[in-house]
Structure 1
Amino acid sequence: MNNKNVHPNTFKKISSGIAGGFSWERLLLSHFVLNTTGALCNLVSCWYFFLLYQRNTLDTKILDFYI
């Protein structure tokens, strides 16, 4: 969920469609919300893949322990 490639005009269209006119507050708020959610999703996915990698490297030890 990378929102850096979204064109700024889409935010203008969204805000004008909601508020009936262009407003900087709504534009900045939507931009901030999208950026923070994108950053959180990136962080979660990085952590998830890191854990997957760690688990794959430890798979043999875990299997040896359980078997």
Structure 2
Amino acid sequence: MASNSNYYLQQASYMLLKAIYAETEELKEALNEGKVDLSEYSAKIGTLSSFRTQIEFMIKKP
């Protein structure tokens, strides 16, 4: 049973990692465009990172 939950937690962690990467790319584009207010991008990245960290702690290590 733990292996099933680990699998889904690992998949969720991977999806969050992909979302963090996508937000980072948007942040890079915003920087290149000279945008000044980057708080929205930073908040999204911080929230996604926090979720991923919580999930990583839930994954049972062998």
Q: What is residue 7 of structure 2 aligned with on the other side?
A: 32
TM-score by length of 2: 0.51
Query: Aligned residue for 2:34?
Result: 59
The aligned counterpart of 1:44 is: 19
Aligned length: 35
Structure number, greater radius of gyration: 1
Provide TM-score, normalisation by structure 1: 0.47
Cα displacement (A) at 1:39: 0.2
Cα-to-partner distance string for 1:5-36 (whole Å, 9 max, x where unaligned): xxxxxxxxxxxxxxxxxxxxx11211111100
Q: In structure 2, what is the Cα distance between the partners aligned to 1:55 and 1:31?
A: 36
Runs of 4+ in 1 over 2 A off after TM superposition: none
CA RMSD of aligned residues (A): 1.4
**Percent identity, aligned pairs only?**
9
Segments of structure 1 that go 5 or more residues without pairing to the other structure are 1-25, 61-67
Task: For 1:34, give the aligned amino acid.
Answer: L
Q: Where in structure 2 are there 5+ consecutive unaligned residues?
A: 36-62
The superposition leaves residues 15-65 of structure 1 with CA deviations (integer Å, 9 ceiling, x where unpaired) of xxxxxxxxxxx11211111100100110001100110011110127xxxxx
